[in-house]
């Protein structure tokens, strides 16, 4: 069996394709079940965010698994395979660990070092584990990747300054509001991790926002956010009340996955004053033509790229340091995997030899007993010593070559020769 990661990300696909390839979280379970129903996929984790849709899996045949994953992605997104196949990135075995550890470190994020990705990876693993489609291989891989991601943020300055997509969005929002920011009403649509980051950044800003209205499909989730942040400037409402709050808001930030735009021209028509509409949703939650209305300005993920590029320039040294930590942690993970793999085959080989000895002793038990106690024990000791010496060189070679191409060939040969 081998590891593989297949997906679309912002480094290799444009925003329009990523929007259309996004799978809402309530549909992830169906994707996971479909993946492991295929003959070549044994374990799977699926994650789909605003800038990444990806499958990490334990597989048998490489090309068969690629085809099965691509077919599943096409079914889940409603896209024809030809629309996205050439934009897919594929990582295999060692490359999967390097890729996932880099993702967890924030090295593959639009904003280097952003925090949201750690929560996204944890959530994806939890869901796969709950569905019993993530086994020991992927659980260990994801846990080690998240641990490495935390280490990167603790030991480098990669997370200083603009620390997340939410933070970048709030900075742009406040910059656009300018002198009108103090005391302004800002509406945030959503109550998930991204929305929570937006609300937290708004409340922590020096501009002293007047009120933050959190509108969410599930009111209880918005109330949980309100309680967790404990700021009396937070007001919660359900989506049915959104239009009413927009009449007095200076800005709205859509930070929740939407199957279709939530804020459209008719939603805003007739309101007075200016409004900044910040669209962080994928697929987009604010219709692209709302800025045809007087006083309405729309900003989306693409527009945030300039601020993000400035953040990247400010932390080049931190990125280099983070890459060093990732390389170190990946090598340690791979060494652990090599040692574990060698331990399994060595244990199986020794158990096989022991079973042969025990079976032969059992078959000749009456003859051995007839020798008497002392000769019987001597015979057993000599036989086991000879078998241990025969096994010594194969087990040493398996341990020394673990994790190499030669080690794979030796393991396969041992299992074939001894039928284990």
Q: Which sequence positions are flagged as catalytic?
A: 50
Strand partners, 52: 9, 49
270 Cβ neighbours under 8 A, 6+ residues apart = none
Using alpha carbons, list the distances in angstroms from residue 144 to 147, 296, 342, 401. Answer: 5, 45, 20, 24
Helix and strand numbers (H, E) in the chain are: 17, 10
Instruction: Say how far residue 116 (Cα) sits from the centre of its chain.
Output: 10
Give CA–CA dist 161/175, Å, rounded: 15
DSSP output for 334-372: HHHHHHHHHHHHHHHHHHHHHHHHHHHHHHTHHHHHHT-
Rg, Å, the chain Cα set: 28
Cβ atoms of residues 8 and 15 within 8 Å? no
Report which of 123, 240, 116, 124 is spatially closest to residue 189, judged by C-alpha positions. Answer: 240
265 Cβ neighbours under 8 A, 6+ residues apart = 287, 289, 290, 292, 293
Structure-block tokens of residue 347: 């244990």
Helix H or strand E encompassing 187: strand 185-189
Report which of 76, 74, 42, 67 is spatially closest to residue 56, judged by C-alpha positions. Answer: 42
Report which of 141, 114, 161 is spatially closest to residue 1, judged by C-alpha positions. Answer: 141
Strand partners, 48: 53
Q: How many CB atoms lie within 10 A of CB 183?
A: 11
Q: At what angle do helices 219-229 and 193-204 cross, to 10 degrees?
A: 40
Question: How do 211-216 and 234-238 pair as beta strands?
Answer: parallel
């Amino acid at each position: 069996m081998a590891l593989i990661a297949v997906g679309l990300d912002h480094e290799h696909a444009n925003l329009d394709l990523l929007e259309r390839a996004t799978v809402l979280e309530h549909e992830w379970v169906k994707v996971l079940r479909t993946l492991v129903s295929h003959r070549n996929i044994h374990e799977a984790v699926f994650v789909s965010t605003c800038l990444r849709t990806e499958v990490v899996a334990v597989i048998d045949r490489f090309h068969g698994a690629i085809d099965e994953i691509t077919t599943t992605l096409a079914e889940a997104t409603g896209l024809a395979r030809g629309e996205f196949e050439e934009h897919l990135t594929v990582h295999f075995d060692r490359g999967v660990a390097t890729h996932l550890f880099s993702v967890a470190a924030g090295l593959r994020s639009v904003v280097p070092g952003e925090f949201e990705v750690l929560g996204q990876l944890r959530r994806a693993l939890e869901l796969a584990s709950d569905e019993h489609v993530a086994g020991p291989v992927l659980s260990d891989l994801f846990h080690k990747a998240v641990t490495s991601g935390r280490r990167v943020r603790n030991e480098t300055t990669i997370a200083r300054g603009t620390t997340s997509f939410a933070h970048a969005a709030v900075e742009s929002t406040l910059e656009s509001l300018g002198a009108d920011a103090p005391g302004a009403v800002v509406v945030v649509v959503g109550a998930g991790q991204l929305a929570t980051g937006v609300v937290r950044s708004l409340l922590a800003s020096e501009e002293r926002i007047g009120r933050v209205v959190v509108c969410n499909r599930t009111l209880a989730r918005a109330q949980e956010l309100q309680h967790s942040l404990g700021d009396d400037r937070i007001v919660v409402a359900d989506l049915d009340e959104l239009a009413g709050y927009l009449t007095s808001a200076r800005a709205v930030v859509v930070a929740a996955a939407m199957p279709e735009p939530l804020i459209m021209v008719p939603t805003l028509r007739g309101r007075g004053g200016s409004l900044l509409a910040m669209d962080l949703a994928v697929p987009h939650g604010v219709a692209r033509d709302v800025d045809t209305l007087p006083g309405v300005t729309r900003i989306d993920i693409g527009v945030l790229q300039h601020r993000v590029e400035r953040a990247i320039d400010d932390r080049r040294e931190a990125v280099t340091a983070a890459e060093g930590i990732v390389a170190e942690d990946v090598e340690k993970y791979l060494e652990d995997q090599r040692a574990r793999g060698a331990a399994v085959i060595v244990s199986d080989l020794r158990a096989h030899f022991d079973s042969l000895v025990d079976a032969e002793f059992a078959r000749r038990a009456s003859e051995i007993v007839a020798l008497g106690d002392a000769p019987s024990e001597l015979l057993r000791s000599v036989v086991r010593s000879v078998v241990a010496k025969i096994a010594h060189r194969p087990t040493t070679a398996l341990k020394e070559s673990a994790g190499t191409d030669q080690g794979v060939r030796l393991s396969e040969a041992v299992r074939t020769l001894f039928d284990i």
